[in-house]
Amino acid sequence: MTAPGDKLRCDACPVMCFIAPGQTGACDRYANEDGRIVRTDPVVMLSHALDRGDRTVPFAARVWDGEPFPADTFVTGIGAGTTYPDYKPAPFIVSSRVEGADMVTVVTEAIFSYCSVKVKIDTDRHLGPEGATVRVEGEAIGHVMTAEYGSQMLSLGGVHHLTSGSKAEGRVTCATLLALCNCEPAELAIDGGSVVTVQAGKPPVVDGVRERRMRVGCGSATIGMFAVQWKDLVDEVVVVDDHITGVVSEHQAGKVIGWDPTGIRIKGHRSTPGRYFRVSEPGLGWGGTKLTDPLDILGEWNPKKGARPGLTLLMVSTTGEEYAYYVLDADLCPQPAPLPEALRPSVALIEENCEPSLCTVLFMGGAGGSLRAGVTQNPVRLTRSVQARETRLTSGGADCYVWPGGGITFMVDVTRLPPGSFGYVPTPALVAPLEFSLPRAQYLALGGHDGAIRDLDRVQAEGGEYATTAKLTSWLGGAE
């Protein structure tokens, strides 16, 4: 037996803190309250009935106001506590009736050393070479992945950064992942590239400049979409892009609508007609190139193929943010001129068709043994049930994408979870909420913890005490 003045050992994670009365453990998520280990955060419940306003219902027995729950209340893993060290049932195994079906939702907070975030940054700016190391406070926390259509992808975290490097690397990696997963900003420095501030659902800030738009498409796609808008208003259009720069007079779209040749010459690797690769190195200039003067990509004009004094030229980026208008002089050299009013709507149309530049953060984790053992006494059956979509997996109430293949590897958009859903333990590792929902009969067939099932009323009555070893018998439905 423990006295109220004794320190208590918390076994919610491998750190196993000894917590003095009135104090919290190293994670600030569990405390010694009057000789009991309790959670410091309330369990969060969701209700679709509240979608018109605040859709989260905070709950813990010690603070709940006694109002009845809405009929469609869904218990989440946020604030629920963990199943560590493996043998305990999940903190909440809740029975409910859903459209007449007898359902069970198993709720826990999982400890993830094997986890990462995948970041999608909408920009045509060059952030850094593929494979380049991403750093925070000088510590390596991830790397640059592939460039996708109008976006740059990063992979941050993972078990090697969290636990296989120095203590500083693990600490900084964990803190950065936690901030990003809780929709807070993080400043990332990319080797050989830019410094980028990333925040889920917000525009990226690249080298101090906030991005506004992601490109409407590559230069070739832009030509295809808007060639008709330029016909008979300008003699030539070049859409500058890091990937494919488009030239309307040579492009198939121009040919189809009867565009005359202009004798233009582009410095770059010609792909198919009107499409040029490698007109410039990647950078922060026009269309994600290093260009500050788009004329740098032009060679000598050929009068035998249509070049003539007075020929007009529009050069524009794939977001419409950079544009310039020129007229060829007597020596066939482009001279800057004011953009005609007739062309302004076409440039504005490119901008209008560019979506806002945003950052997307997906948390990715693999559900391991301790988590699955908290759900069922035969963990492989849970894996098979999730993969077969018999068991629905959610994180903080948000639907997850479950990767095919072995194990339970999932991804979730962090903006779909209530604020502050993610935590950490100092091992270091992230803590994320998970919920497994399935019919009660199927849950029992998995080898589920029948004696730990409670209905919502019982959950409300018993509330927030953490299941330490001393309390295990009550969690299993027995006497203390």
DSSP state string for 210-267: E--B--SS-HHHHHHHHHHHHTTT-SEEEEE-SS-EEETTTSHHHHHTTPPP----BS
Domain boundary among 325, 352, 379: 352
- The total domain count for the chain is 3
Q: 376 and 448 share a domain?
A: yes
Q: 378 and 442 share a domain?
A: yes
360 falls within a domain: no
75 falls within a domain: yes
Span between the terminal Cα atoms of the chain, in Å: 12
398 falls within a domain: yes
Q: What does the pLDDT average to over 375-388? A: 92
What is this structure's pTM? 0.84
Domain boundary among 169, 198, 213: 213
Q: 316 and 380 share a domain?
A: no
pLDDT exceeding 70 applies to what percent of the chain?
87
1 falls within a domain: no
Task: Indicate the pairing of strand 429-439 with strand 101-112.
Answer: antiparallel
Q: 227 and 177 share a domain?
A: no
For residue 148, give its domain range: 115-213
Q: What does the pLDDT average to over 265-278? A: 94
Q: 168 and 246 share a domain?
A: no
357 falls within a domain: no
Residue with the bigger pLDDT between 274 and 26: it is: 274
Q: 318 and 209 share a domain?
A: no
pLDDT at 69: 61
Given a cut of 90, is residue 252 above it in pLDDT? Answer: yes
Contact status, residue 75 vs residue 459, Cβ threshold 8 Å: yes
Given a cut of 70, is residue 184 above it in pLDDT? Answer: yes
- 25-46 pLDDT, tens digit each: 877 778 888 888 777 776 777 7
172 falls within a domain: yes
Query: At 48, is the pLDDT very low, low, confident or very high (cuts 50, 70, 90)?
Result: low
182 falls within a domain: yes
Q: What does the pLDDT average to over 276-284? A: 90
- 358-370 pLDDT, tens digit each: 999 999 999 877 7
d(CA 398, CA 416): 6
Given a cut of 60, is residue 159 above it in pLDDT? Answer: yes
Q: What does the pLDDT average to over 152-158? A: 97
Which residue in 20, 367, 365 sits closest to 30, CA to CA? Answer: 20
Please, what's the b/e burial string for 292-305 (b: 16 or more CB within 10 A of its CB; e: otherwise)? eebeebbeebeeee
Q: 106 and 165 share a domain?
A: no
Q: 224 and 209 share a domain?
A: no
Q: 470 and 390 share a domain?
A: yes
Domain boundary among 213, 233, 250: 213
Query: At 461, is the pLDDT very low, low, confident or very high (cuts 50, 70, 90)?
Result: low
- Mean predicted lDDT score pLDDT of the chain: 87
363 falls within a domain: no
Q: 122 and 107 share a domain?
A: no
Q: 87 and 179 share a domain?
A: no
Q: 335 and 230 share a domain?
A: yes
Given a cut of 60, is residue 475 above it in pLDDT? Answer: no
Contact status, residue 410 vs residue 401, Cβ threshold 8 Å: yes
Query: At 161, is the pLDDT very low, low, confident or very high (cuts 50, 70, 90)?
Result: very high
